[in-house]
Amino acid sequence: MKNISVTMLILLFMLITTNAEAQTRNKNSKRPSKTVQKKAVEKKTVRKAPTARRTVKHTHKVVHKPVKRVRVTRTRVVHYHYRHLPKRGAVVTTINTKALAIRFGGIGYRFHSGVWYKPLGKKWIVTRPSCGIRVRTLPVGHRRILVGATVYYYYYGSYYTQKNQEYEVAAAPNGAEIGSLPEGYNVVNVNGAVYYELDDIYYMPSLDQEGEEILVVVENPIS
């Protein structure tokens, strides 16, 4: 009888142990499995700063090579372009009230429509301006001239070069080609060759490449 009781106790203990192990396995099987995700390593892209390129501008200075002009007999009146303006050396009693007053070298000049005046007593005389006088604007109808590497502007017997924002009266350069002179010039005959003189500047009549009559500044043919 005692042996049966012991046997039953052993069986009961084994049954309880088996059930406990089964329940433990069921709980473990129901637990969600943990997935460990590795963080992706972000790759940094390093961009190299573009290398700045230096642009070097090469400026080429335009140089006008003088063309040997041939003397011709002029057919058009020399002062045709300035026939509406006063004669160089003319004395006038009044000038336009809009004339620009410019004092230079102790002389109170007046400048209007490209013509220069200086006082002569109570009157005014049409004159040649002194080199160095400056104006801010060029007269309408001026001519652009390239002599060597220098740009000149011509009007009514006067030559100008640009100085900053102004235009300065300059000496007439040899080789300059113009179309007309103001009335008041002199006709000079040297050994049968005709020249035109104004303000001690001598001009030879010629033709440009297009066949237009021009006057070319030359050395004094008399000296």
pTM above 0.95, yes or no: no
pLDDT at 196: 98
Share of the chain above pLDDT 90, in %: 69
DSSP code per residue over 69-100: PPP----S-TTGGGTTSPPTT-EES---TTPE
Report the mean per-residue pLDDT for the chain: 84
pLDDT at 96: 96
Cα 37 to Cα 10: distance, rounded to the nearest angstrom: 48
Long-range contacts of 119-123 (CB under 8 A, 24+ apart): 120/91, 122/93, 123/91, 123/92, 123/93
Contact in structure between 138 and 155 (CB atoms under 8 Å)? yes
- For residue 15, is pLDDT > 70? no
Q: How do residues 98-154 score in pLDDT, each as one tens digit?
A: 999 999 999 999 999 999 999 999 999 999 999 999 999 999 999 999 999 999 999
User: What would the mean pLDDT of 180-197 be, rounded to a whole number?
Assistant: 97
Q: How do residues 53-80 score in pLDDT, each as one tens digit?
A: 554 444 445 555 667 899 999 999 999 9
